[in-house]
Amino acid sequence: MTAADDEPACRPQAVLDIVADKWSLLIVRALSGGPRRFTQLKRDIDGISQRMLTATLRGLERDGILTRTVHNVMPPHVSYELTPMGNTLREAVAPLLQWGVAHLTRIQAARAEYDARPISGTHTTP
């Protein structure tokens, strides 16, 4: 975090930088059921590439949202788990995800209506 991040006006931006991308929220949601291995996360999160999953996991680990544990068994494997702070994030975003599910049909209808407009983008009211 830079000195500029300490300014009150910059704090919301710093927070949103941590959680505002879709992959972070989907990883937090996937980890809400407990520890997961990389391959489980990759399978559970539709559309995420291996590279993006790796980068997002590293960022969330750096921010203290999750922990990475290397298991010294044969074959060795790694698991990821939410930290106590990560669990508070999960609780905080749960209403947002519920809102999205509740309004998904309306959002899809609005998109279809928007996409059906003439190219000019003008909107006329009846």
Check which CATH number belongs to the domain holding 74 and give it: 1.10.10.10
Which domain range does residue 58 map to? 3-115
Q: Give Cα 111 distance to the centre of its chain.
A: 22
Residue 69 phi/psi, 5° resolution?
Answer: -120, 125
In a domain, 126, yes or no: no
pTM given for the model: 0.77
Give residue 11's pLDDT band: very low, low, confident or very high (50, 70, 90).
confident
Q: What is the per-residue pLDDT across 12-22, written as a single tens digit (0 to 9) for each?
A: 887 787 777 88
Q: What is the per-residue pLDDT across 41-64, written as a single tens digit (0 to 9) for each?
A: 999 999 999 999 999 999 999 999
Cα(45)–Cα(53) distance, integer angstroms: 9
Amino acid at 121: G
